[in-house]
Amino acid sequence: MPFCLPSYFHIVSLIPAVGLMSVLGCLSAYTFGLYGRVLSVHEAGSLGELWEKEKGRSSSWIISLVSMTFCFGAALSYTILLGDTIPKLTASLGLGGFFSSRSFWILFLTSTVLFPLSNLPSLLSLAPLSVVGVGAIAATTAFMGYRCPSINPGSPYLQGSGALLKTLPSSMLPQFQTYDKGILSPSATVLMGMAAMAYLGHFSAPSFFASLRSRDTTKDARDFRTVTRLGFGVATLLNCLVMSFGFLTFGGSSSGVILNNFSTMDPGASICRLLMTICVIGGFPFLTRAVVTEYLGLRGIEPKRSEQVLATCQTLGLLTAAGLAMKDAGFVIGFSGAVMGSFIVYIFPAILFLSQSGRTPSSNWKVKAERAFCRFLVIWGGIVAALGGGVSVANSYFPHLLK
């Protein structure tokens, strides 16, 4: 099979993509901060409750429905990721048969691990896994950088001489004979949607703000801004590095779950897969709890323990069925991020801020400029949702339309 190394053109073509990802990271940090500014006035336990206090009950079901759907999509991508990752881990140990079946692992992990964790009375006991998650992302980023031929000429994934390339299926072999369509193409909206999922966290803004709440509202707002800037700054840096390392190693063959590209014979990739599995298992219950909370709220059901367990069973059943039927995590991330993520990350916080700031008209040019920018965010979010969702579907099921 002919090959070509990533050229200067391919490396330079990363600049607009990295720039776009960085801008989206800054926008996500800003809109997360908007939620904090509204929460400094209204105490709320969820985005639906926050919307109800600021905009009224009649339309609060919209944000609750979107939050529930968004978290469900994120949990579904986690289910698919587990189904992809565990069989590769077992393959690296030489295990075959049903141990290499994604269906077996999805069913097994859901019934024996995810169900008990999702039904814990309090999810605070899972806090240590958050530390593992941060370590897993950092370790995976470092590993991908070390395996990137553009950084390490001795990489076993170097085309023409890489020893591990022979162990990869043809669909995963590096492919750099691609053409740059530019960030103004409709396909770029898929990246925007994935960015909304990559900077996942806005639905947790109420609980995050509550954890910082004290008697000094000024200090609370300042602490919220500081942690937001630090958190999104680190997330933006890691996302840009992973995106760059993945493209420079595998090019157009890069999978929606980039670790799927690496050989099962690569011990470093196996360690990263194990760490990411722990990370996903630890984060999964928070997503299902968010889905259940919004679901019960929409139905007007008091969140009693029995109702929560029943709703969790129903949620996990739907996630398992969808996870068994779907195998493209990239599509789920792109579609859910583009459609639902755009509402949560761009549209809803902008509308809430416009509502709050509109109560006290100001002649200050900074306030007017910020309100104008928030109006732009509403339009921007709508465009990303419409185009990103459509392109994600076309890219996965009608790829010929985008050629």
pLDDT in tens, 260-286: 899 989 999 999 999 989 888 988 998
Q: What is the mean pLDDT of residues 207-213?
A: 79
Nearest to 192 by CA among 393, 394, 389, 35: 389
Q: So what's the pLDDT on residue 124?
A: 72
Q: Is 338 left (phi over 0), alpha (psi -120 to 50) or beta?
A: alpha
Q: What is the mean pLDDT of residues 148-171?
A: 86
Q: What is the mean pLDDT of residues 4-19?
A: 68
Tokens 């995590």 belong to 329
Are the CB atoms for 91 and 100 separated by under 8 Å?
Answer: yes
Q: So what's the pLDDT on residue 162?
A: 81
Q: So what's the pLDDT on residue 400?
A: 52
DSSP state of 89: H
Are the CB atoms for 31 and 345 separated by under 8 Å?
Answer: yes
Higher pLDDT, 209 or 104: 104
60 confidence band (pLDDT: 50, 70, 90): confident
Calculate ∠ Cα 253-254-257, nearest 5°: 140
Are the CB atoms for 202 and 235 separated by under 8 Å?
Answer: no
Q: What is the mean pLDDT of residues 304-327?
A: 90
Percent above pLDDT 70 for the chain: 86
Domain annotation for the chain: domains and CATH numbers: 8-402 (1.20.1740.10)
Q: What is the mean pLDDT of residues 196-208?
A: 77
pLDDT tens-place string over residues 95-127: 777 788 899 999 999 999 999 999 888 777 787
Higher pLDDT, 36 or 177: 36
Higher pLDDT, 395 or 84: 84
Q: What is the mean pLDDT of residues 69-95?
A: 87
Is the pLDDT assigned to residue 202 strictly greater than 90?
A: no
3 confidence band (pLDDT: 50, 70, 90): very low
Q: So what's the pLDDT on residue 115?
A: 93
Q: So what's the pLDDT on residue 260?
A: 87
Q: So what's the pLDDT on residue 392?
A: 67
pLDDT tens-place string over residues 346-391: 999 999 999 998 887 777 888 899 999 999 999 988 888 887 777 6
Nearest to 244 by CA among 150, 139, 170: 150
Q: So what's the pLDDT on residue 2?
A: 42
Q: What is the mean pLDDT of residues 123-148?
A: 85
**Over the chain, what is the mean pLDDT?**
83
Calculate ∠ Cα 124-126-129, nearest 5°: 140
Q: So what's the pLDDT on residue 342?
A: 85
Structure tokens at 224: 């919220």
Using DSSP's 3-state secondary structure scheme, residue 319 falls into helix
pLDDT tens-place string over residues 322-354: 999 887 766 776 677 777 888 898 999 999 999
Higher pLDDT, 328 or 167: 167
pTM of the predicted structure, to 2 decimals: 0.80
Q: So what's the pLDDT on residue 194?
A: 63
Is the pLDDT assigned to residue 86 strictly greater than 50?
A: yes
Are the CB atoms for 238 and 18 separated by under 8 Å?
Answer: no
Are the CB atoms for 279 and 137 separated by under 8 Å?
Answer: yes
